[in-house]
Amino acid sequence: MQKIVPTARMQGTFFLDLGCGDRKTPGYIGVDIAATASTDYTIDLTKEPWPIDAGVVDGIACNHFLEHLAGAQRIVFMNECYRILKPRAQLKIVVPYWSSMRAVQDPTHQWPPICEASFFYFNKAWRQENRLAHYDIHCDFEYAFAYVMHGELVDRDADWQRFAHRHYLHAIDDLHITLTRNG
């Protein structure tokens, strides 16, 4: 397996798009299990360790990939992202929101659908506070999230959008998570 290393052409930045499929983020190195026009490196991201040195990556994009991994594979993925990221570097993830039909329509999506609370487990202090330190999770991320409202709701005012988010299925299409590596 070919090792992924930063090169001089990257001019001091080393950004990866993991699970890029055929839609690689511009300026990023595309990594996927499938060889597509966007894939620079073909790697099975469910197997560890990835052929990337620890602490060398400046940032990671992961758009509509995490939901294709089973629960245990998500843990491997998050632990490996943590391992390869530089301290304070960010991992940006986009997934279909758990209450959106998009979360369950694709037969290749794995259970469970992903929500904001799914990412609590990847914060060391939260795991310790909830007496879950025995879980095989080694990463430690701070996190923030944002929502992409369904197209029919985008023009509604903020109060109405908050109401729809809390009370209606399919009000939110996607969840955007920004995780920052601690340590």
- Look at residue 9 in the predicted model and tell me its pLDDT: 55
Give the pairing of strands 172-181 and 85-96: antiparallel
- Residue 2: per-residue pLDDT: 74
Give the per-residue pLDDT at 11: 60
- Total count of domains within the chain: 1
pTM, to two decimals: 0.93
Q: Is residue 81 part of a domain?
A: yes
* Residue 157, domain member (yes or no): yes
Helical (H) or strand (E) element with 147: strand 141-149
Q: Are strands 41-42 and 29-32 parallel, antiparallel or unpaired?
A: parallel
Domain containing residue 136: CATH number = 3.40.50.150
Whether 103 and 144 have beta carbons less than 8 Å apart is answered as: no
Q: What angle do CA 133, 116, 38 make, to 5 degrees?
A: 100
CB-side neighbour CA atoms (13 Å) of 26: 0
The reply to whether 3 falls in a domain is: no
CA pair distance 55, 17, nearest whole angstrom: 16
In a domain, 7, yes or no: no
State residue 146's pLDDT score: 95
DSSP 41-102: EE--TTSSS-SB-TT-EEEEEEES-GGGS-HHHHHHHHHHHHHHEEEEEEEEEEEE-TTSHH
According to the model, what pLDDT value does residue 60 have? 98
Residue 2 lies in a domain: no
Asked whether residue 158 is assigned to any structural domain, the reply reads yes
Note whether residue 6 is domain-resident.
no
Give the range of the structural domain holding residue 97, as residue numbers without chain letter: 12-181
pLDDT of amino acid 37? 95
pLDDT digits (tens, 9 = 90+) for 107-127: 999 999 999 999 999 999 999
Domain membership of residue 4 (yes or no) is: no
pLDDT in tens, the chain (183 residues): 678 877 655 566 899 999 999 999 999 999 999 999 999 999 999 999 999 999 999 999 999 999 999 999 999 999 999 999 999 999 999 999 999 999 999 999 999 999 999 999 999 999 999 999 999 999 999 999 999 999 999 999 999 999 999 999 999 999 999 999 998
